Amino acid sequence: MIKIDLYDEKNDETAHYEKTHIEFGMFKKIAKFNKEVNRKEAEASLMRQKFNQGILISEEEAKYVNMMAGSEIEDIEAMEKLIVELFNHPKVTTKSIESGLDLSKGMETLQGILNDAMGGIKADADHPAKK
């Protein structure tokens, strides 16, 4: 099961949304997202090591600067889109997520939803009735 609480400034209320059934097909999308984030982190780490050692070649310099400047924003946007797709609810949108989550807990909440979805998929697949 996944759940999210989103604050609505217009109504000064927090709405609770949850979804008990996560489609198995979402596993692939979440796994692809996690793979891409891990790939970017590994590539950035290698580039950072090369930069620190002074062995970054000129062709890699622009790529390194771009990686350090914008990949986190792209990852957050991809995560928001994935969560919107997971909930498949008209009131859970990227806009409602961005305005409804508190800055101090936003990333933790989004990552928790993905973790819960992956756990939910595994729990559903391991359910005795499915064996």
Residue 31, pLDDT > 80, answer: yes
Number of Cβ within 10 Å of residue 115's Cβ equals 12
Query: pLDDT per residue over 57-84, tens digit each?
Result: 888 888 888 777 767 888 899 999 999 9
Q: Are 80 and 72 in contact (CB under 8 A)?
A: no
How far apart CA 3 and CA 33 sit, in angstroms, is 19
How is residue 79 written in tokens? 């995560």
Helices 58-87 and 25-53: crossing angle in degrees, nearest 10, is 160
How is residue 76 written in tokens? 């957050």
Beta bridge partners of 42: none
How far apart CA 21 and CA 23 sit, in angstroms, is 6
Query: pLDDT per residue over 78-104, tens digit each?
Result: 999 999 999 999 999 999 999 999 999
Geometric angle at alpha carbon 86, from 1 and 127, rounded to 5°:
40
Q: Are 40 and 67 in contact (CB under 8 A)?
A: yes
As a whole number, mean pLDDT of residues 97-117 equals 95
**Domain residue extents for the chain:** 2-130
